[in-house]
Amino acid sequence: MIGINPVITITVSDCEVIFKANPELIEVIQEIYGSKQFFLKASGCIYYQISNRRAIWDFLRQIDLYCSGIEDSFMAFITMAYNTIHFAEELPGYEVGSTPDIYICCYSNYIEFSEHQIQVYQYDYPGAASIDRATIEKYLRTPTMAEVASEHSLSNFTAHYETVILPFLTALRGRVS
């Protein structure tokens, strides 16, 4: 599965959690966390200071709780750096690195490859532009994607194109309000 058109990113470096999204999504994030004091870093970018690194899991669990009961809830890609062990264990030697300790990215579109078929998922994020078929096909024709398509015997993928629209964050907003 490959994500395109990032709409929300969450980066964690030491005790700073940064959310980047469009203004409508920033508002939704603030509603999810209620009374937590976020600070504006720039337009479309807020941050929160957790009390210690181990507190990150409870902090991120709040957004997970709002998403868990929603049908077709969203998918995110996550990467964790070597330092992430310091978020689970009290160990000496933590050093701030040049990359985030935790990086989470939610995309408005995901492309899933299966045998002889490509499925495109589109989430209905408030304030995020939808991607049309021509733009998605442009992504599919890049050298990297062409290699993935050939691995899955999808050289003639255009006949198998289908979009599934998932109204996730619209439903989420109804739960938060």
How do residues 119-163 score in pLDDT, each as one tens digit?
Answer: 777 777 777 777 776 777 776 666 666 666 566 554 544 433 444
pLDDT for position 154:
47
Radius of gyration in angstroms for the set of CA atoms belonging to the chain, rounded to a whole number: 18
Mean pLDDT by 10 residues, the chain (177 residues): 84 94 88 88 92 91 72 68 84 84 86 70 76 71 65 47 48 37
Predicted pLDDT of residue 176: 35
- Can you give the pLDDT at residue 52? 93
Q: Write down the pTM of the prediction.
A: 0.74
CA distance 135 to 71: 27
pLDDT at 96: 82
pLDDT of residue 173: 38
* Alpha carbon distances (Å) from 110 to 5, 24, 118, 159: 9, 21, 10, 18
